[in-house]
Amino acid sequence: MKRWDQRPFEIRNLFNPAFCGLVLYRAMQGYEEEDAYGMPFSLSLLVLPLCLHKDSREVIAGNPRSYLLKTTEKHPQIHVGFAERSTSMLPYAFEGFGLLMERGCISVKNDGRLQTIPDKVRKSVTGTDETKSCQRVARIVGKEFARIADLVTIYTTFGIRP
């Protein structure tokens, strides 16, 4: 990972740790709506590749009431390049988690689950249309991950070996 000041301007804007952390936080909030114990760390690593990738985000946003498994079955384009995206997004996810931890916005439980800490992040979704879309889809993804409740099923659905 390059130092912050040595990264290209576009990368600094697109993968800003504060924004990535916010997207992760919204997904954890969505997960906690269904499962108060919190999101498993391994699942959280799939959030950014789904929410920041425009094609995937638009498919999920276009089917908010459909189950995520059905949506991915009907729209196989989500799978294209997903494993590579997931791997390339890991450093940005870790930076987002680092910022969330440093600011006291999340906690890590003994079993490795991540939980949000109430009243640390604004509840209102603000920003540009695209940033709002990322946050809304993150909530949907988190909620759907909790409904599925099986790590192996989720990883297999996206073509990643657990």
pLDDT of residue 162: 64
Spell out the residues 6+ positions from residue 95 whose beta carbon is closer than 8 angstroms to its own.
Answer: 1, 15, 17, 20, 21
**Domain count along the chain:** 1
Specify if 98 maps to a domain.
yes
Q: Could you identify the residue written with the tokens 């499962």?
A: 35
Per DSSP, what are the bridge partners of residue 124?
none
Sheet architecture: strand order including 106-108: 39-40, 113-116, 106-108
pLDDT of residue 8: 84
pLDDT of residue 116: 97
Specify if 56 maps to a domain.
yes
pLDDT tens, per residue, the chain with 162 residues: 777 778 888 777 778 999 999 999 999 999 999 999 999 999 999 999 999 999 999 999 998 778 898 999 999 999 899 999 999 999 999 999 999 999 999 999 999 999 999 999 988 898 889 999 999 999 999 999 999 989 999 999 988 876
pLDDT of residue 49: 96
Specify if 65 maps to a domain.
yes
Q: Which two tokens stand for residue 148?
A: 């599925």
pTM, two decimals, is 0.93
Q: Which domain holds residue 103?
A: 4-157
In three-state secondary structure terms, 72 is helix
Specify if 162 maps to a domain.
no
Measured CA distances, 92 to 22, 66, 123, 132 (Å): 12, 29, 23, 19
Contacts 24+ apart (CB under 8 A), 127-136: 131/19, 133/57, 133/61, 134/19, 134/23, 134/51, 134/52, 134/57, 135/22, 135/23, 135/26, 136/26, 136/61
Any idea of the CA torsion for 20, 21, 24, 30, to the nearest 10 degrees? -130
CB atoms within 10 A of CB 66: 17
Specify if 43 maps to a domain.
yes
